[in-house]
Amino acid sequence: MTTQPWSAADMPSMQGRTAVVTGATSGVGLATASALAQAGAHVVLAVRDTRRGQDAARSMTGSTEVRELDLADLASVRAFAQSWTGAIDVLVNNAGVAGGRGIRTKDGFDMQFGTNHLGHFALTNLVLPHVTDRVVTLSSGAHKAGDIHFDDLNLSQRRYSLPQAYGQSKLANLLFTLELQHRLEEVDSPVLSLAAHPGYAATNLGTQGRSKLLVSAVNLAGRLFAQTSEQGALPSLYAATQDLPGASYIGPDGRGELQGYPTMVGRSDKAADPELARRLWESSEELTGVGFGLEQR
């Protein structure tokens, strides 16, 4: 008997549930938010550009809301969290940037590390008292080439490498997922911390501000080899809705995890190192001024 691959049509009803999706104006984030809304969830698009967010919301079927959130600005992250009331059943830490050599966040962090990791670290912990079910954080196969440079997290004291910076941020996403699950279990919280990656999806990640020639090459490669954003969203949707062990990592089941249907996938030894995860968490607390969101319970 052949088992059919899992798709968005296999999602359970999300009626009566609230999902927050960061970076939901395009690509995998837009596809994730749209599928959750289609399944009945009230979806909050947490986005930097609210005009684009409204355009994205109008393209969806279901209950949606747009709220401003700039993950590259900790003041914006705090304002978003402070304005929140009610439950968040599912938080999808989807937003990400790739590229931006030498660009800093408003708080002075490397743009990739500051947005992809620190912004989501602060957001998750600040809203964690509202989360009832799970946190899904997006990583990437690029984490396997990453290292956490504790002596130079901004990568300002060495020759800057875009792949190195992106790899560090994506490794940080998996280490954050691991340590968050550990801390949730320590306080007997029912909330799950999970991770996902979309494989090679046709999005505009990493193309902003790049040369027209490079963008054209990326777009051509996307048309030839990449899967759609809707297919790339499946690991996030699977992690957001299926019965899974804490700290699970979901990605495509195809060759090299570039394409395919969602399944549990492996991670590098560094991404599974609990001591590395603990050290990164402590460094992230110092950098953001935000601690574990359930410590006071």
Count how many Cα atoms sit within 13 Å of the Cα of residue 245 in the half-sphere of its side chain: 8
What is the C-alpha to C-alpha distance for residues 70 and 86, in angstroms, rounded to an integer? 21
Q: Which residues contact 21 (CB under 8 A, 6 or more apart)?
A: 29, 32, 33, 36, 43, 44, 45, 46, 92, 94
Give the separation between CA 56 and CA 94, rounded to whole angstroms: 15
Please tell me which residue in 160, 166, 200, 249 is annotated as part of the active site. Answer: 166
* 3-class secondary-structure state, position 136: strand
Annotation marks residue 200 as catalytic: no
Find all residues with CB under 8 Å of 251, minimum gap 6, and list them. Answer: 141, 196, 197, 198, 199, 235, 257, 262, 263, 265
Residue 91 forms beta bridges with which residues?
A: 20, 135
Residues 247, 135: Cα–Cα separation, whole Å: 10
Q: How far is the C-alpha of 71 from the C-alpha of 76, rounded, in Å?
A: 7
d(CA 233, CA 261): 10
> Whose structure tokens read 């002596």?
151
| The residue to which tokens 């660009």 are assigned | 103
Residues annotated as catalytic (active site), given as ranges:
166
